[in-house]
Structure 1
Amino acid sequence: MYFIVFILGITIGSFLNVCIYRIPREESIAFPASHCTNCGYKLKPYDLIPIFSYIALRGRCRKCSEKISIIYPLIELLNGIIYVIIFHFYGVSISTIFLSIFSSLLIVISAIDFKTMEIYTSTTVFGLVLAVIYIILASYFNEINYKDKLLGGLVGFLIIFLIVKISRGMGEGDYEIAGLCGLFLGLKLVLVALFLGIVIGGIVASIILILKLKGRKAEIAFGPYIAIGTFISMILGDRILQIYLAFFA
């Protein structure tokens, strides 16, 4: 099962690369078929095997030998690993399916935000629809408490909304992401996720400033750090809360 889940993950990861490339360009994610962005060569099925095709082609286009970014196989590998981890902790369940899909969405949002400093409405709308379906199905089968998820969505949204309006240190799209994360995590876990995201983001921003990689007024994408905090909370959030209560309660 772990192998099957991993293969499914890297296969979907290949599609995520298409989304990451085309969404900022406002292109269809379905048409045209995958092709080399340099020479237009239409990729054959054997050119599209996740990770393995990249290795076989030595990271270059089969026709024009243009170098292919290593980001592509890394996204595929990351998605496969995340799917396996979620399956390990949640087993065969509705939550496994929807949390996996949501994690893939966070990869897309994070990669686009990192490259363009933009969060696109099409991704957040898809996330909202996904969250609604998840809450309805999972609550029907008694996997979750829908009130907790809705409250998590509201609180996650409001926390980052207030930070954005008061400090203007984040973008408006960040509170949309936080709201989505709350719908999937619930109240307690979204608080853990946002705390971790803010801490990790702060550490990275400090390192960037210390190394003078960017100026003090330069924008830094915060979406990826919310995503990292969300995934950690998704897997270890309850344990983190237990440790916190054991030390400070």
Structure 2
Amino acid sequence: MLNFIHQHRHKEPQVKRNPLLNLIRDNMSKPRSSVVKASDDQVTMYLYDAIDPWWGISAESFVSQLAAIDAPTINLRINSPGGDVFEARAIVTALRQHSSNVIAHVDGVAASAASYIALAADEVEISDGAFFMIHKAWTIEMGNADDLRTTAALLDKIDDSIANDYAAKTGKSKDELLALMTAETWLTAAEAKDMGFADRIAAAGGTNDAARWNLSAYANVPKALTAPPAPEPNRDRSTLERRMALLERIAP
């Protein structure tokens, strides 16, 4: 998901119909947990949140914790609905450059930006019952036709970059992967392994709680992951409402 925020000019607020803002709003009450736990020669990091510099796990906080680790093995446990593409890209770069052997464990869901963070690891293990999702980047934009074409070109470049990551891991062609991204494809653990996104399937472990997220912003969520919407959170609500109101007033 591409999470730079601009707003189309409309007479009525569009927040409820905007998938980017819905994903952030509906999951902001979930606990943030880029927590590091250490044992003798292994460290476990948890990416159990949306990837977002305001309402979830930021690249700054994640990478600073990662940089402090010198254990031979890092177990990166993932249960995330996705988030900001550029924050995720910074996390990917840090993981690839780290000297430790990184094992990604998809405990619940690795959706959107979380999917290519998983693929930055040296090994990918997905729990039986977990899901892996890939799709094309989203954004919100305003402006004239030239502005919109420029943004569309940027989105194409981002999709191409992400497809390269998927191709490097799976060995599949970029055209095939871009078609899967266009369709917003959700993969079971077995499908993720068969297609090369995961190296192996683990017995259920971690939380394996993919249904904790409100994924209604996405179009093709499997029934196994649908759940009643979480109640509106009180924490940070006033700040979020001010941010939403600002988005509605961007256009002159």
TM-score class, shorter: under 0.3
Choose between structure 1 and 2 for higher RCO, CA contacts under 8 A separated by at least 6 residues.
Answer: 2
Q: Counting helix residues as a fraction of each chain, which structure ranks higher?
A: 1
Q: Which has the larger radius of gyration?
A: 1
Q: Counting strand residues as a fraction of each chain, which structure ranks higher?
A: 2
What's the TM-score, normalizing by structure 1? 0.23
What's the TM-score, normalizing by structure 2? 0.23
